[in-house]
Structure 1
Amino acid sequence: MLVLSRRTGESVVLGDDITVTILEVRGDVVRVGIDAPRSVKVHRAELLAELASSNQSAASPPEDAVASLAEAMRKRQE
């Protein structure tokens, strides 16, 4: 991991077309501006983790739902 120190108004350039600028520093909060093409996805890490967790929950039905479905299918075959 590259670690840099920047002051308000200073930037870091990633590749040819992404610029990250420090907009403001207040205590322990840093406002960051990101200038990137629309084709580049920019997301906050905590939202990606929450989305992954939500998707995992949605894709894994509760055990009783699986058992109920299996029982319904057995009854249907009879």
Structure 2
Amino acid sequence: MRESVCFGNQSLPGGAKVLVLSRKLGESVVVSDNHNEVWIKVVRISGGRVQIAFDAPIDVAIRRSELLATVPDSDPVEAVCIRPK
């Protein structure tokens, strides 16, 4: 299990502390380290579902959590990204 920086009193089942942010339609969050920057934007909210867009370097893997146990890191990108002009 990897370590993470924890903020606030939010926790997941099992007790892991996490940062929880609220975002409105059109708002973004940026996750970065010393080498990469990933922008995550809320692009649609409808009927209890949220659609999010990722803008990340090609070498940063982005996967749905339910696929983590089934897709090895060496597999090709699972989605094609099309950037608007």
TM-score range (shorter-chain normalised) is: 0.5 to 0.7
Report whether the alignment pairs 1:42 with 2:59.
Answer: no
More helix by share: 1
Helix, strand or coil at the partner of 1:24: strand
Matched positions, count: 51
Equivalent residue letter for 2:24: R
Which runs of structure 2 are paired with 1:49-60 in the superposition (5 Å)?
49=69, 51=70
The aligned runs of 1:1-78 (5 Å cut-off) are 1-15=18-32, 17-49=37-69, 51=70
TM-score, normalisation: structure 1: 0.60
Report the alpha carbon displacement of residue 33 of structure 1 after superposing the two structures with TM. 0.3
Structure 2 unmatched runs, 5+: 1-17, 72-85
Q: Give me the identity figure in percent.
A: 41
Name which one, 1 or 2, has greater alpha-carbon Rg: 1
Q: State the TM-score, normalized to the length of structure 2.
A: 0.56
Cα distance in 2 for residues equivalent to 1:45 and 1:17: 20
Q: CA RMSD in A?
A: 1.4
